[in-house]
Amino acid sequence: MPATLSDDDLFDLRWNRGRRDLVGPLGRLYPQAEDLMARLCDLLARHWRDRPADLARLDLARDVDPDWFLSEDMVAYVFYIDRFAGDLKRLPDRIPYLSDLGITYAHMMPCLKPRPGPSDGGYAVMDYREIDPRLGDMADFERATGALRAAGISPVIDMVLNHTAKEHEWARKARAGDPFYQAFYRMFDDDTLPRQFEETLVEIFPDQAPGSFTYYDDLGKWVWTTFNEYQWDLNWENPEVFLAVLDTILFLANKGVEGFRLDAVAFMGKQMGTTCQNLPQVHDILQAITQATRVAAPAVIHKAEAIVGPQDLVPYLGTGRHEGRVSQLAYHNNLMVQFWSSLASEDTRLMTHVLKTHFPESFRRAAFAPYIRCHDDIGWAITPEDTAHVPGVDAAPHRDYLSDFYNGSFPGSFARGADFQVNEETGDRRTNGTFASLAGLEAALTPDEVEAAIARIRLGHALIASFGGIPLIYMGDEIGMLNDYGYANVAEHVDDGRWMQRPAMDWDRATADGPPARIRADLDRIIRLRKATPQFAGDVPTRVLETGHGGLFVYRRLGEPCEITCLANFTAHDQWLGPRAAGLDGGAMIDLLSGRPLALHDGQIVLPPYQILWLRPDP
């Protein structure tokens, strides 16, 4: 007879597997880690016993195939529930739309109960175990996640790790004087230490929330508030915080969440004399959360929201002792920045240098989530260290140029966007705008301008579909939705320009002819071809090629049974490249996107404006 395992046996096997990867980080983070390990085991066992049967079966499937999320079949869609479907009760009615688009990963933007009033777009959570009542309740949420799962779509939500709303139960108890919960936060009796910390901290919202600390008269203390006064930073040096947050993650996992976007992770570590971003202890925390989750809910993965410079980004997918053990996904914000930089400058030299120099060709059991834009602004993460390698490009002037180009003020710019969080002291600016508006569709007045905007959008979608990882499509980009300037008439949104790129889904546009239909048809083809091309899986290495051509970005997917070479023209003019410069041997090639054999002109590959080729040997 075949051997059988009880639930307790399964848990013991997973605990023994996970314990090896928990001892190290917990020992570095917390004293008396042995007692903490015992408490952690009890916590994980409790949530495992509460695991619904269908999720327990999914756990088994993903134990057998732990790299499931790296499949070329994975495509993500990101949306606000109310702006996409109205509420959770109506969300299942929109699942056929997602399925028709080929979506397998649905990131529902903040849906946990926020504080009343300003809430940083839902990222100031006052109760992690309740749903925003404007969207429904937890029963509605469970029905929606079940419907998504039945359609083969993994439900993903945000879990804010750096802070809670000041109205959260922990914060209310801390404010009432409970020392146990005061230790959950970073609190100071006077401003001596806060002033010392602020000497090296970077303001996140200099316009709306300058400074990083807030004094409360009733509390008689200063509280660390990195983002806004109403968002209190958690004290991750306290093991009780680790246990309480993990308890919440596993509670939500048992409600059907298969992926967590771990928000603001770069800020969790604090150390005097630093920017308090991307500190080593952050990666210990992420490893502990990821490996503990694998014990009680192996079907669940984590994505690190770390919008940081290239030198700091790679560790969020695991390097050194954390290799293969921290978050399974991380945003590839550098690919996004370089996409827009190359489009504006018609110069891919910086893009090639950054992506070739700073990033490994692949990761162990992890991958990037590439995207062209998201709900947030674009921060121009371009450093002097990188521009020093590109003659004629200086970091600060280039950042200024990009800000002017994408707010539409630079002469001849095709883009329509807006500045965000202008820092008068440093001159730094960030940029708001939807994909289509930044790519030129809003400003297009002639048929040729419309064609160029559609081509830029197609280029972006084909880039993220083929570069590696899970491509993220923000709601409405598949039909070319434009900036929503009406946000300025909404009291809740007027002080946050990011609502410009968060328009409600235009369902009439989703069935309209013209540019929306063409953009959707392009994306449909790109997704279909991605899913049919195993070389685009997340575990296949991506090699950026140095061709010496400043208008083209060239990369190769090193998969079996043959390699795929991708060439992208970031200029408004035809570009020529010899096959040898692209590392091609001169044999017959076929372009997967067009389905046509590659034809050379005078022995050269010719790419029209904004064209991208996916070339493979033609059998």
Is the peptide bond prior to 239 cis by the omega test (within 30 degrees of 0)? no
Residues 142, 151: contact at Cβ < 8 Å?
Answer: no
Longest dimension (CA), the chain: 79
- Is residue 380 exposed (0-12), middle (13-18) or buried (19+ Cβ within 10 Å)? buried
> For the chain, how are helix, strand and coil distributed in percent, rounded to 5?
40, 15, 40
Q: How far apart are CA 133 and CA 130, in angstroms?
A: 8
- The alpha carbon of 29 is separated from its chain's Cα centroid by a whole number of angstroms, namely 26
**Contact yes or no for 275/311 (Cβ under 8 A):** no
**Residues known to be catalytic:** 263, 305
Question: Encoding tokens for residue 582?
Answer: 């692209």
Place of tokens 């399925």: 99
Q: Which residue has 């590959």 as its token pair?
A: 605
Look up residue 583 and give its DSSP letter: T
For residues 19 and 55, give the distance between their C-alpha atoms in angstroms, rounded to a whole number.
22
What six digits make up the tokens of 30? 């917390």
- DSSP three-state, residue 182: helix
Tokens standing for residue 583: 């590392």
Residue from 70, 105, 76 nearest 469 by CA? 70
Query: What secondary structure, in 3-state letters, does 428-454 show?
Result: CCEEECCHHHHCCCCCCCCHHHHHHHH
Rounded Cα distance between 333 and 338, Å, is 9
Partners of 234 in the β-ladder: 185
Which residues does 363 contact at the CB level (< 8 Å), separation at least 6?
Answer: 317, 318, 323, 324
